[in-house]
């Protein structure tokens, strides 16, 4: 989304807020990709040798997991920033800054903007969105999601599944299955794609 197009949609005193939101979105996107890239690189470095003794790399694997967790934490901030943008540009600051959330924005978008509203609904009702929210809320308010290094060899088809595994957890009455690190990267990609869909729908209204 081009900031110049958005500036024409807001009053003069809100232009600084708009610039702050755009900077925040750019920073969060870059930070998300940085953590994902760093996690992959650190993981690959561990397994450069043909024989690896996991017990000698516990700290290294923990550092990889820290990057994955930081990636998820950063993703979890995007809905609130997106809500601020929708409130400012589309709802003309209908909601106060303190009360803005992606859920309140969804509820206040008029029905004649159904494409934008439905795109936001699709995002927040997706399994990716719910997993990330649940993961972060559990980590923030209760305890960290347990994890370990997991290896499974399928001797029938001679395939090996290995990597950092994040355990299953339950949040707000919903059970979420265990996830391997690569599955979390896929969740990140799908989550970001849906976020971009919301931004694209906003662009159509400007």
What is the per-residue DSSP string for 145-203? PPEEEEEEEETTTTEEEEEEEEPPEEETTEEE--EEHHHHHHHHHHHHHHHHHHHHHHH
Strands 179-180, 159-166: parallel, antiparallel or unpaired by DSSP? antiparallel
DSSP H or E run through 18: helix 15-46
Burial of 96 (0-12, 13-18, 19+ CB in 10 A): exposed
Of residues 68, 70, 173, 193, the one with CA closest to residue 130: 173
The helix/strand/coil state of 126 is coil
Q: 0.85 exceeded by the pTM?
A: yes
Residue 48 confidence (pLDDT) = 83
pLDDT confidence bin for 53, thresholds 50/70/90:
confident
Say if residue 156's pLDDT is above 90. no
Whole-number average pLDDT of the chain: 88
Model pLDDT for residues 189-205, shown as the tens digit of each residue = 999 999 999 999 998 88
């Amino acid at each position: 989304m081009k900031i110049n197009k958005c500036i024409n949609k807001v009053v003069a005193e809100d232009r600084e807020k708009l610039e702050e939101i755009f900077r925040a979105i750019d920073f969060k996107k870059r930070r998300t990709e940085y953590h994902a890239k760093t996690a992959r690189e650190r993981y690959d470095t561990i397994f450069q040798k043909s024989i690896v003794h996991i017990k000698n790399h516990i700290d290294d694997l923990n550092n990889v997991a820290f990057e994955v967790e930081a990636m998820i934490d950063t993703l979890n901030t995007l809905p609130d920033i997106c809500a601020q943008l929708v409130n400012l540009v589309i709802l003309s600051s209908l909601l106060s800054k303190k009360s803005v959330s992606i859920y309140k924005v969804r509820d206040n978008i008029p029905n004649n903007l159904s494409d934008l509203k439905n795109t936001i609904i699709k995002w927040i009702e997706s399994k990716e969105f719910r997993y990330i929210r649940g993961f972060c809320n559990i980590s923030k308010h209760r305890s960290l999601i347990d994890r370990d290094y997991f290896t499974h060899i399928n001797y029938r088809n001679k395939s090996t599944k290995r990597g950092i595994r994040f355990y299953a957890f339950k949040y707000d009455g919903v059970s979420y299955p265990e996830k391997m690190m690569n599955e979390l990267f896929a969740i990140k990609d799908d989550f970001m794609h849906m976020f971009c869909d919301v931004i694209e729908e906003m662009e159509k209204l400007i």
